[in-house]
Structure 1
Amino acid sequence: MSTVSRNRRVRVRVPATSANLGPGFDTLGLAFARYDELEIEAIEPGRLEINVDGVGAGEVPLDESHLVVSSLRFALERFGFAQPGLRLDAVNTIAHGRGLGSSGAAIVAGVVGAAGLIADQRQVTGEELLEVATELEGHPDNVAPCLFGGVTIAWMDADERPRSKRLTPHPGVSLVVLVPDETMSTAAARALQPEQVPHKDAIFNLSRSALLVAALIQSPELLFDATEDRIHQDYRASAMPKTKALIDALRAEGLPAVVSGAGPSVLVLCDDPADRLRAAAIAEARTDTTWNVLMTAVDVQGATVEEASAQTASPSV
């Protein structure tokens, strides 16, 4: 088994993501410009040092169960390398438990960090990164855009291996992410999803998913119709009534609002930058909860890893 070079240190940056995008349940996702940044160093075996600033500081575990650490160790084993000691310094800005892909970002940070630590001895392909990250996350719809950036279509092939296709969004697509103070468990949201949906609703979502791909890369003026959904958002509405109320208010004004991932955050996909201001005003006028407004853009680079001494980041895949 190979050994990670002692004192090798890398910097990793991973973007937040939003999955589903309305009709594309467990399939469509995008990365946006909100990041966790980490420095990871290989030190003497048996040692572990973790420092977390920003989101999660004082809350996330500082031992081997830390998701970045456990993901990194899983990846190193898969890549055929012995486990070094680790020093991890993380500065987090991706909110936890709000449908912004924080767990997927942590997993990708660990997997990409592992690839960076061994890059002087072995090159890891994007396909390998996606496969390991999906095994850890359970599904590829968040880890694919986190890894590769842009808009992604993710699926499992006939052999149950994850695959993805990255698309570059139309420059006219702009984003607003509305983040409440409340959190939502992905597992709890999935528990509300029925095993079967009506045939007409499945056909409805198939048409909207196809339309959404066209809207995102070619015709953003179609985003409102393209973001309609009948197979998951309404079923989950009872668990996040404030999210449902805000989405209804936004869509009543013609704004393409959807639940971000499992929620409770709201993603608004706009074809006019002025619509972002309208969406923000509607959210800020709500009295049921405080909505934090993130004016952002689609991240087109995805996860990056560089040697700590490097001056510019390079894509990990």
Structure 2
Amino acid sequence: MTSPLLKTPAAGATATVRVPGTSANLGPGFDSLGLAVTLYDTLRITILAAPVLEFDLSGEGVEELPRDASHLVVKTMDLAWQRLGYTRGGLRVAAENVLPHGRGLGSSASAIVAAIMAANALVAPEDRKDRAWILQLASELEGHPDNVAPAIFGAVAVSWQEGAGYSSAKVSPSVSVVPVVAIPDVELKTERARGMLPATVPHADAAANSGRAALLMHALTADPSKLLAGTRDYLHQDYRAEAMPESAALVARLREEGHAAFISGAGPTVMVLANGGDEADAIVRRITELGGTGPDSSPKAAGHGVSWRVLRLQVDLEGAKVEVHQ
């Protein structure tokens, strides 16, 4: 029974949210740096008069997703509405999933951000919160802000935690920075990847990583010729290599050839930050030679049983967008 103290969103209202995919860490920026890219999941939420829950799911991973209140979008919206003083009535969830699941491109962050933004947009105008509030709740649910911040704000996000609060600064990269991704046909659960990290690291590694993260920000904004050096990581990739040997091998090969390759998020997708369109095209050709395919072709077998889908993308500069229709 609905509590009389809680409001319900108005029946008939619809919110559509488009959220970019993201790549976290960018090499040395473990749990603190993220980049939004031009791959988008779209969520459309309609408030129904009848107390039912309907789903219309398409795209990546839909066969495995629940179609009940345990769906991540519904759980997240329920929590967001609770924080806003609302409760769920009838709901239709329509989702177009473009981001591959379990690949390190922020699919769970996208779902969480889309759900919170939809829930926030569907309450009365006087009850809506700003994007800083959305960042807090999304980071709380994700456990860290590195993916959710660029999904919300776009561009490059530099994020940090102080006490129980999360903050993020938006940084616009040079127009010369072109992201290229190689998405393997295998998944890696973030929990497994995180479980491979040591509790402590040598002081020398921490110091080296700090220097590379600082250099990366200079490379991203002022001198993309330093991207290769700036994306060198000492904190997480080597420890996780055993869980994704093909990805680690591809990163090593591309870096040996002078390209700024790293593991995207917890993996196993490989991202390369190219300095200009010519290098981006060369990277696409090179990964294709090594067993990858372009966006419109069927995957062919790569070495060691892994196939790669290669995409030349752009940096998304705007972040999540929401529209409300009454």
Common fold by TM > 0.5: yes
User: Which residue matches 2:169?
Assistant: 165
CA RMSD of aligned residues (A): 1.2
* Aligned mates of 1:45, 1:73 — CA distance in 2: 17
Q: What is the deviation of 1:7?
A: 1.1
* Aligned mates of 1:45, 1:197 — CA distance in 2: 55
Alignment of 1:108-187 (within 5 A): 108-118=113-123, 120-157=125-162, 159-187=163-191
Identity %, equivalent residues? 44
Which of 4, 7, 21 pairs up with 1:2?
Answer: 7
- For 2:86, what is the secondary structure of its paired residue? coil
User: Which residue matches 2:275?
Assistant: 271
* Aligned mates of 1:246, 1:302 — CA distance in 2: 29
User: Which residue matches 2:307?
Assistant: 290
- For 1:22, what is the secondary structure of its paired residue? coil
Q: What is the deviation of 1:296?
A: 0.4
Q: What is the deviation of 1:119?
A: 5.0
* Aligned mates of 1:220, 1:122 — CA distance in 2: 43
Amino acid at match of 2:324: E
Q: Could you report, residue by residue, the CA deviation over 1:54-103 in whole angstroms, capped at 9, with x for unpaired residues? A: 11222211111111111111111111112221101111100000000000
Q: Could you report, residue by residue, the CA deviation over 1:91-124 in whole angstroms, capped at 9, with x for unpaired residues? A: 1100000000000101111101101111534231
Alignment of 1:26-105 (within 5 A): 26-44=31-49, 46-105=51-110
Q: What is the deviation of 1:274?
A: 1.4
Which of 290, 302, 305 pairs up with 2:319?
Answer: 302
- For 2:246, what is the secondary structure of its paired residue? helix
Q: What is the deviation of 1:45?
A: 5.5
Q: Is 2:206 the counterpart of 1:202?
A: yes
Q: What is the deviation of 1:300?
A: 0.7
Amino acid at match of 1:300: L
Q: What is the deviation of 1:276?
A: 1.5
* 1:16–1:32 contact (8 Å) kept in structure 2: yes
Amino acid at match of 1:79: L
- For 1:127, what is the secondary structure of its paired residue? helix
- For 2:65, what is the secondary structure of its paired residue? coil
Which of 231, 235, 258 pairs up with 1:231?
Answer: 235
* 1:45–1:83 contact (8 Å) kept in structure 2: no
* 2:9–2:124 contact (8 Å) kept in structure 1: no
* 2:262–2:272 contact (8 Å) kept in structure 1: yes
* Aligned mates of 1:149, 1:74 — CA distance in 2: 24
- For 2:29, what is the secondary structure of its paired residue? coil
What stretches of structure 1 move > 4 A for 4+ residues in a row? none
Q: Could you report, residue by residue, the CA deviation over 1:28-64 in whole angstroms, capped at 9, with x for unpaired residues? A: 0011000011210111363100110111222211111
Structure 2 length-normalised TM: 0.92
* 1:39–1:308 contact (8 Å) kept in structure 2: no
Q: What is the deviation of 1:194?
A: 0.3
* Aligned mates of 1:40, 1:254 — CA distance in 2: 45
Structure 1 length-normalised TM: 0.95
* Aligned mates of 2:253, 2:118 — CA distance in 1: 41
* 1:173–1:269 contact (8 Å) kept in structure 2: yes
- For 1:26, what is the secondary structure of its paired residue? strand
* Aligned mates of 2:268, 2:192 — CA distance in 1: 12
Q: Could you report, residue by residue, the CA deviation over 1:181-225 in whole angstroms, capped at 9, with x for unpaired residues? A: 011010000011001111110000000101111111111111011
- For 1:58, what is the secondary structure of its paired residue? helix
* 1:249–1:282 contact (8 Å) kept in structure 2: no
Which of 253, 256, 271 pairs up with 2:257?
Answer: 253
Amino acid at match of 1:302: G
Amino acid at match of 1:20: N
* Aligned mates of 1:282, 1:146 — CA distance in 2: 29
Amino acid at match of 2:313: T
